[in-house]
Amino acid sequence: MGQILAERALNTGEGQAPGRGRRAARSVTVNLAESPLCWLKARGMITARQFDAGERLRMDYETAALGPRVTMRWEPSVPGRGARHAPEGLDPTLAQIAAKRRFDEALAVVGSGLSDIAWRVVCAGEGLAQAEKGLGWPSRAGKLVLMLALDRLATHYRIA
């Protein structure tokens, strides 16, 4: 299977004429299949059923916003200071709460021994070798355990 690539135009400050608000566009090639799960599927190491289960878990993880923040929080640092501050008691959206519930249920079904590798590879985006090293496992043990975890996920999500 070939690589899946996409062209994406980015605006940069390069080539900008002085005094004008225009920016030159440049083209960047992005590999859409760069996740560890896509890499495994492209090489026939996991089935389509296992891939779909992993993608469903990743979607719930991202919808629940469980990953680390990569941008600045725009909330006031001291509540109540100044005229502008966020109203107290703001809850996350219902979709985020439901996704968190689905994510927690899925990892509970997978089990404590298998959920570690599933989370690392599917949600955190670690490669198998990196996940094995982080868990202190022997080399090449992660693939089998990940496949078992993905099978349990597929059964939980009722993916045929």
In a domain, 144, yes or no: yes
Q: How far is CA 47 from the centre of its chain?
A: 19
Total count of domains within the chain: 1
In a domain, 127, yes or no: yes
CA–CA gap between residue 69 and residue 57 (Å, rounded): 19
In a domain, 61, yes or no: yes
CA–CA gap between residue 110 and residue 123 (Å, rounded): 14
In a domain, 133, yes or no: yes
The whole-number pLDDT of residue 5 equals: 45
In a domain, 49, yes or no: yes
Which residue has tokens 């949600």?
A: 123
In a domain, 138, yes or no: yes
Q: 46 versus 2: which is more confidently predicted?
A: 46
The whole-number pLDDT of residue 11 equals: 40
Range of the domain at 145: 33-67+95-160
Q: Find the mean pLDDT for residues 23-31.
A: 62
In a domain, 3, yes or no: no
